[in-house]
Amino acid sequence: MPSIPEEYHDLFERSTIAHFASVLPDGTPHVTPVWIGYDAGADRLLINTEDGRRKTRNVRANPSVGISMTDPDDPYRRLSVLGTVEEFREEGAREHIDELARRYIGEDYPNEVETERVILVVRPDRVF
């Protein structure tokens, strides 16, 4: 199984914006910028969102996704992953969004949560 190369793990420790692509019901792509986490021990990418949002509805119907990241300091250093959402994790999702917010904006998540938070756990199937 493909794995995220260790020399790219630093992208998940900085405020690197990822682009998350899922598939709309009509088959067209849906791409959104997201904060991203990484579980190195399990080799899984972590996307935190609210349940019921478009990307969550998309991956419940079709778990195939694409994720790309560009190093904020070097636009020619990039990581792209084609993968499968294999888990919708609610446990710990609220704490996880605070963890991401502290990395990206230096404080706990400031927005009101309208529904339940969920972590989309992505298994890398192909890594570029």
pLDDT digits (tens, 9 = 90+) for 56-101: 999 999 999 999 999 999 999 999 999 999 999 999 999 999 999 9
The whole-angstrom separation of Cα 48 and Cα 63 is 15
Partner residues linked to 39 by β-bridges? 44
- Does residue 114 surpass a pLDDT of 80? no
Question: For the chain, what are the domain ranges?
Answer: 6-127
- Does residue 55 surpass a pLDDT of 80? yes
Q: Which of 1, 91, 78, 107 is nearest to 46 (CA)?
A: 91
Worst-scoring range by mean pLDDT, 5-19, 54-68, 88-102, 104-118?
104-118
CB 30 within 8 A of CB 21: yes
Q: Kindly indicate whether the domain formed by 6-127 is annotated with CATH number 3.40.50.300.
A: no
Q: Which of 4, 6, 11 is nearest to 73 (CA)?
A: 11
DSSP state of 72: T
pLDDT digits (tens, 9 = 90+) for 32-54: 999 999 999 999 999 999 998 99
- Residue 107 is predicted with a pLDDT of 87
- Residue 108 is predicted with a pLDDT of 86
